[in-house]
Amino acid sequence: MVEVIFITSNESKYREARKIGEKYGVNVGWIQLEYLEPQGNDLREIAKLSAEMLTKKMDSPFFIEDSGLFIKALNGFPGPYSSYVFKTIGNEGIIKLMDGIEDRTAFFMAIIAYWDGNKIKLFEGKVEGKIANEIRGTGGFGYDPIFEYEGRTFAEMGDEKNEYSHRRRALESFFKWLSER
Ligand code: IMP
């Protein structure tokens, strides 16, 4: 069985990755660690720089993942600032910002950065959906209660979120690549 370590402070992310790993024969281990994320406008660059900093602490392979919610009518906001925006204005704030806006198109993007001991490789996953008109559902975490995919929010889906999510898509390409090496 392929084994790989996921470094994240977010237990929900780890649980999702662990479940998805089971489908691909990958055993996902966990190091619960909060690391400094550089700010910037590019999710790929942020993930790469974060992984690079962690290589100084880690002597075996690992991966990290960085996500963002990109709202079309807000020119991609909060995007790479999703974490800060969630902590400050949260889902209520986003719903208010979107008040009266007709085009509610948004996507989630996940970038995985994998350190193989020598170099960093990036994998990407994206899911298109909409900002809901109101907060709905009790599952998931973060923006899940306002991100609607085919009529339901991610927070209304339970584990089914793992079939469609940006994280699932990024992990899928990563795990496929990992198991075919
Ligand atoms: P980060 O990747 O941990 O920096 O996440 C950025 C922000 O997006 C945080 O506020 C997370 O809660 C949120 N986020 C990341 N992934 C998801 C997801 O799958 N669903 C909902 N919110 C998410």
Q: How far apart are CA 74 and CA 83, in angstroms?
A: 16
Centre of ligand 1 from the C-alpha of residue 126, in Å = 13
Q: Which atom of ligand 1 is nearest to the CA of 165?
A: 19
Boundaries of every domain in the chain: 2-179
- For residue 11, the model assigns a pLDDT of 96
- For residue 15, the model assigns a pLDDT of 95
Atom 23 of ligand 1 has which residue's CA nearest to it?
Answer: 142
Asked whether the CA dihedral 148, 154, 160, 166 is positive or negative, the reply is: positive
Atom 16 of ligand 1 has which residue's CA nearest to it?
Answer: 67
Answer yes or no: is pLDDT of 179 > 90: no
- For residue 170, the model assigns a pLDDT of 98
2-179: in CATH 3.40.50.720: no
Centre of ligand 1 from the C-alpha of residue 82, in Å = 7
pLDDT in tens, 32-55: 999 988 888 899 999 999 999 999
